[in-house]
Amino acid sequence: MIKFEQVSKVYTDGFKAVDSVNFEVPEGEFLVLIGPSGSGKSTTMKMINRMIPHTNGTISIDGTDIKKLNPSELRRNIGYVIQQIGLFPHYTIEKNIAIVPELKGWDKEKIKTRVRELLKMVDLDPDIYASRYPKELSGGQQQRVGVARALASDPRVLLMDEPFGALDPITRDQLQDQIISLQRKLKKTIVFVTHDMDEALKLGDRIAIMKDGNLLQIDTPEKILLEPASTFVEDFIGKDRIIQNPELMPVVSVMTTKVVTSVLDRSPEKALLKMRQEKITSLIIEDEQDDTFVGLISAYELIKKVSSIQSIEEILIVPEHTLTDKASAKDAIMMMPNVKYGVIPVLNEAKKVVGIVTRGTLLTALSSQWTELEGINE
Amino acid sequence: MNNLNIWEQFMQQAEMRWSEVIEATSVHIQLVFFSMLIAIVLGIGLGILITRVPQLSTVVLGGAGIMQTIPSLALLGFMIPIFGIGVNTAIAALFLYSLLPIIRNTYTGIKDVNKATVEAAKGMGMTSLQVLLKVELPLAIPMIMAGVRTAAVINVGTATLAAFIGAGGLGDFIFLGITRGIDGLILLGAIPAAMLAIILEIFFTYLERWTTPEGLK
């Protein structure tokens, strides 16, 4: 929907704020631009609504070159939220939200209904807040109004320039959650600038990392964490990021593929021998015909009952808890306390076991992240 | 007559010349009114202009500043060759004299509007004119009004000097009082002029409060 082709911003003194950037934002995507200060992330964003004119290349929205559009007209169709909020102090909250609809010449009744709807959407009671002035609101409330104002005329594109950067951590967290739920409902195309990696990981469908006017990597949060394109990206996201964000870590990275399987049709003695040989505490049972997952046998149960049972089928456990190979490490961590015998089988689409997560594998995977960290600090 | 004290002199003069006082006051008000009117229109206009064309700001502010440094009586004198003797000259000189506070306050008032508010206004698709009329001017109003008030009060005082170039006004009595050595006559000009200044001050203070947008109070 938004497309950058070889876009540069070169100032008259020769300084290249943005250097031949190429990327595309599909409709409905939440793209986060991130980078250290001076990386050109804000400039890149502000070129989209021509607040900063680009000097080379083409930026197009829905295939239309934005240079061919009237700047005011263009901006009225793009929501714009800035860090300093920028509410009009001499307008009531209602009038502030109504600015773009009024510029577009909506009729009064329609604007009034829309304002109420928007205030409710950002969790502000219209009966209380509509007639207030910005200075009577807290910073967090003001930025809620800022977001409502940007959404007023229902633009398809939303530009947000570090919108939560000036808020306290708790308010910031609340507003991030709110923007996530709003985005889920409204499906806007959002370009969001931040310098906070946690914010980027939390909000972005994709994250674009910039440095010195160059786009270094644009990828999903998972990809950025697991496959950073350069050492700068790696350093920038920080090694400990992955431990703090286990939801971004695939479960396959915390499981072991060393799985010992067996069919049901095996004598208890033989099964116990096998488990002793392999030094394992649980045996995965697969279907004879198609190798799909059937259940598991616990070594503890087996030792207790080995002489009293005819077949291992009698002590077969069909676990309530299994994970798919698309799950995250966080899912495994959350599930582990409820799991009997401490084993979570990980199944692929064909219901075959691709690995198991145990407390041991979780610990090993997470602690290896820590030791890597230590290594860097030295 | 000289053995009367100053208050008795003043009462006597007031009784004798009250109709002249009323007329002089009305001339005085006209001098102030017309010079201020032109100064407000041009001053605000120039003030806005130099926020749009920053290259002009030094010239305009410097020029208006120089006007202010010229002693008021000298400025009145300078105007005589151009406009001759009388009311026009006085209005022209008073206008020039009132310009600086208005230009400067308009300029600073607009410049001081929060950058974020202006950026948000532009970012929402307001044209440059809409930004000026809906954001910058309303938010600069308190500052502009303060400039107008300062100019008006100075103007009332300076207008008494218009009498020296034959433009009339309350300065006539002061002038006459000085030349004839009648202190009461000086007061007959000075007291109404001072009251006029106070009334203007109060009027503009209220106007300032009234024109300040609700959310800024």
As a whole number, the mean pLDDT across chain A is 89
What percent of chain A has pLDDT above 70?
96
| pLDDT computed for residue A378 by the predictor | 39
| pLDDT computed for residue B3 by the predictor | 67
Q: Which amino acid is at A75?
A: R
B171-180 and B6-52 helices, crossing angle to 10°: 130
| pLDDT computed for residue B57 by the predictor | 92
Q: Tell if the CB–CB gap between B125 and A100 is shorter than 8 Å.
A: yes
Nearest to B155 by CA among B165, B166, B170: B170
Report the residue from B124, B130, B215 with minimal CB separation from A89: B215
Q: Tell if the CB–CB gap between B122 and A76 is shorter than 8 Å.
A: no
Residue in chain B lying closest to A81 (CA):
B120
- Looking at per-residue confidence, does B95 or B72 come out higher? B95
Q: Shortest Cα distance from A253 to chain B (angstroms)?
A: 45
A252 within 8 A of A346, measured Cβ to Cβ = yes
Phi-psi region of A213 (alpha: psi -120 to 50; beta: other; left: phi over 0): left
In this model, does residue A336 exceed pLDDT 90? no
Q: Tell if the CB–CB gap between A89 and B213 is shorter than 8 Å.
A: yes
Give the separation between CA A182 and CA A201, rounded to whole angstroms: 17
Q: With contacts defined as CB-CB under 8 Å, which chain B residues touch A146?
A: 120
Mean pLDDT value across residues A345-372: 82
pLDDT category of residue B46 using cuts at 50, 70 and 90: very high
Q: Tell if the CB–CB gap between A88 and B120 is shorter than 8 Å.
A: yes
Condensed to tens digits (0 to 9), the pLDDT of residues A151-162 reads: 999 999 999 999
A36 within 8 A of A211, measured Cβ to Cβ = yes
In this model, does residue A376 exceed pLDDT 90? no
A69 within 8 A of A47, measured Cβ to Cβ = no
Mean pLDDT value across residues B10-32: 91
Q: Tell if the CB–CB gap between A76 and B135 is shorter than 8 Å.
A: no
Q: Shortest Cα distance from A46 to chain B (angstroms)?
A: 9
Q: Tell if the CB–CB gap between B120 and A92 is shorter than 8 Å.
A: no
List Cα–Cα distances, A65 to A30, A59, A70, A97, in angstroms: 21, 6, 11, 28
| pLDDT computed for residue B79 by the predictor | 85
Q: Tell if the CB–CB gap between A76 and B125 is shorter than 8 Å.
A: yes
- Looking at per-residue confidence, does B165 or A5 come out higher? A5
| pLDDT computed for residue A369 by the predictor | 66
- Any idea how long chain B is? 217
Q: With contacts defined as CB-CB under 8 Å, which chain B residues touch A149?
A: 124
Q: With contacts defined as CB-CB under 8 Å, which chain B residues touch A87?
A: 117, 120
By the CB < 8 Å criterion, does B129 face chain A? Answer: no
- Looking at per-residue confidence, does B76 or A216 come out higher? A216
CA A269 to chain centre: 49
Mean pLDDT value across residues B123-137: 96
What percent of chain B has pLDDT above 70?
99
pLDDT category of residue A377 using cuts at 50, 70 and 90: very low
Give the separation between CA A332 and CA A364, rounded to whole angstroms: 14
Residue in chain B lying closest to A146 (CA):
B120
Condensed to tens digits (0 to 9), the pLDDT of residues B77-111 reads: 888 888 888 889 999 999 998 999 999 999 999 99
Mutate to test the interface with B, among A83, A90, A145 (most CBs of B within 10 A): A90
Q: With contacts defined as CB-CB under 8 Å, which chain A residues touch B138?
A: 90
Q: Tell if the CB–CB gap between A99 and B124 is shorter than 8 Å.
A: yes
Q: With contacts defined as CB-CB under 8 Å, which chain B residues touch A131?
A: none
Q: Tell if the CB–CB gap between A82 and B123 is shorter than 8 Å.
A: yes
pLDDT category of residue A226 using cuts at 50, 70 and 90: confident
Judged by CB atoms within 8 Å, which residues 99-128 of B form the interface with A?
A: 114-127
Q: With contacts defined as CB-CB under 8 Å, which chain A residues touch B135?
A: 88
As a whole number, the mean pLDDT across chain B is 91
Condensed to tens digits (0 to 9), the pLDDT of residues A87-135 reads: 999 999 999 999 999 999 999 999 999 999 999 999 999 999 999 999 9
Please tell me the pTM assigned to this model: 0.76
Q: Tell if the CB–CB gap between A82 and B120 is shorter than 8 Å.
A: yes
| pLDDT computed for residue B2 by the predictor | 54
Residue A171 CB partners (closer than 8 Å, separation 6+): A138, A139, A140, A164
Residue A65's H or E segment, with its range, is strand A64-65
| pLDDT computed for residue B142 by the predictor | 93
Give the separation between CA A163 and CA B130, rounded to whole angstroms: 25
pLDDT category of residue A320 using cuts at 50, 70 and 90: confident
Report the residue from B116, B125, B127 with minimal CB separation from A86: B116
Residue in chain A lying closest to B128 (CA):
A72
In this model, does residue A311 exceed pLDDT 90? no
Q: With contacts defined as CB-CB under 8 Å, which chain A residues touch B211?
A: none
By the CB < 8 Å criterion, does B130 face chain A? Answer: yes
Contacts by A292-300 with C-beta closer than 8 Å and gap 24+? A292/A350, A292/A351, A292/A352, A293/A322, A293/A345, A293/A347, A293/A351, A293/A352, A293/A353, A294/A264, A294/A318, A295/A319, A296/A341, A296/A343, A296/A345, A297/A262, A297/A271, A298/A340, A298/A341, A299/A272, A299/A275, A300/A341
Mean pLDDT value across residues A175-199: 93
A328, β-bridge pairs = A250
| pLDDT computed for residue A374 by the predictor | 54
pLDDT category of residue A249 using cuts at 50, 70 and 90: confident
- Specify the range with the lowest mean pLDDT, choosing from A274-288, B122-136, B172-186: A274-288
Residue A374 CB partners (closer than 8 Å, separation 6+): none
Q: Tell if the CB–CB gap between B120 and A49 is shorter than 8 Å.
A: no
Ramachandran angles phi, psi of A12, nearest 5°? -60, -25
Sheet with A16-25: list strands edge to edge: A16-25, A2-10, A56-61, A64-65
Mean pLDDT value across residues B186-199: 93
A157 within 8 A of A4, measured Cβ to Cβ = no
- Specify the range with the lowest mean pLDDT, choosing from A19-23, A46-50, A109-113, A250-254: A250-254
Report the residue from A49, A71, A134 with minimal CB separation from B215: A134
Q: With contacts defined as CB-CB under 8 Å, which chain B residues touch A147?
A: none
Q: Tell if the CB–CB gap between B135 and A88 is shorter than 8 Å.
A: yes
Give the separation between CA B100 and CA B103, rounded to whole angstroms: 5
Q: With contacts defined as CB-CB under 8 Å, which chain B residues touch A133?
A: 214-215
List Cα–Cα distances, A255 to A345, A347, A362, in angstroms: 9, 11, 7
Q: Identify the DSSP state of B70.
A: S
- Any idea how long chain A is? 378
